Amino acid sequence: MFDPTWGSGYVDGGKFYKKINNDYFRIDPSTLIKTHMPFDFMWQFLNYPVTNQEFYEGKTQQNKSKPFFNFVDSIKIYESQSYIEQLIASTGRIEKNGIKNSMIFDRLQHLKLEIENYKQNQTINLFNKAVSDYNDGINIFNDFIQYRNKQFTPMKPDAEIQSMVDAADTKLKDAKAKLKEIQNPDSNSASSIVQLTKSIDDASNQVTEQQAWLKTYFSKGKSGRKSMFYDKKISWFGIPLN
């Protein structure tokens, strides 16, 4: 452990005096804990962490009657976690170690706010990506409808025609999958999710109908296929969302 500030000098009578103190260079964690308390007890680097209450009471000596804490493994887990997982785990450890002053309380509130902001941003990002997929699906599907109303001219291979509808179907499924990833949305977001889900479902039903129509179309010969266009033209499904 290192504390370059405490090792650079001292204050006397409100004045700072520069004087190197190597006691704070590569200092053992069991010694540093007597004067330095991290918010998250994992960063004490001790197998028997000191609580905030013990720190204020000067009880910083090793107490092996406590449960053993493997800080090395805990740090390895921490390094493998996502940013939000790190925030949540750190918040839990801070709360567990005791809220003994306003500085700890402020730090905890800051982390909780950061967690909420992160979750909200994740919700917004996922929702916007779902809208983007939905818009792409609608555009692809409308291109198919327009092409069908032109009786598939200019001519394309069957597989290419099928891929137009299938691509729209994939985009709509991707949009719905992203909405399902959103966990515990706020009321406004939840309302938007419900509305978008309904739009996706309505579009998916239209796509399914066209997939069934194509299956019949592909099963017919040239004259049979032509007869399927005698029905009235179908309109576009809708327009993309803003």
Domain residues for 125?
115-227
Q: Is residue 220 part of a domain?
A: yes
pLDDT at 236: 60
Identify the H or E element spanning 11: strand 9-12
pLDDT at 230: 80
pLDDT in tens, the chain (242 residues): 999 999 999 999 999 999 999 999 999 999 999 999 999 999 999 999 999 999 999 999 999 999 999 999 999 999 999 999 999 999 999 999 999 999 999 999 999 999 999 999 999 999 999 999 999 999 999 999 999 999 999 999 999 999 999 999 999 999 999 999 998 898 999 999 999 999 999 999 999 999 999 999 999 999 999 999 886 666 666 555 55
CATH of the domain at 131: 1.20.58
DSSP state for residue 235 in the 8-state scheme: P
What is the count of structural domains for the chain? 1
Sign of the alpha-carbon dihedral angle for 93, 98, 103, 108:
positive
* Residue the block writes with tokens 């010969």: 221
Q: Is residue 89 part of a domain?
A: no
Instruction: Report the alpha-carbon distance of residue 118 to residue 83 in Å, rounded.
Output: 9
* Cα-to-chain-centroid distance, residue 161: 36
Q: Is 0.75 topped by the overall pTM?
A: no
CA distances for 242 relative to 134, 175, 196, angstroms: 11, 15, 12
Contact 16, 10 (CB under 8 A): yes
Per-state percent for the chain, helix, strand, coil, to nearest 5: 60, 5, 35
Q: Is residue 185 part of a domain?
A: yes
Q: Is residue 140 part of a domain?
A: yes
Q: Is residue 91 part of a domain?
A: no
Q: Is residue 87 part of a domain?
A: no
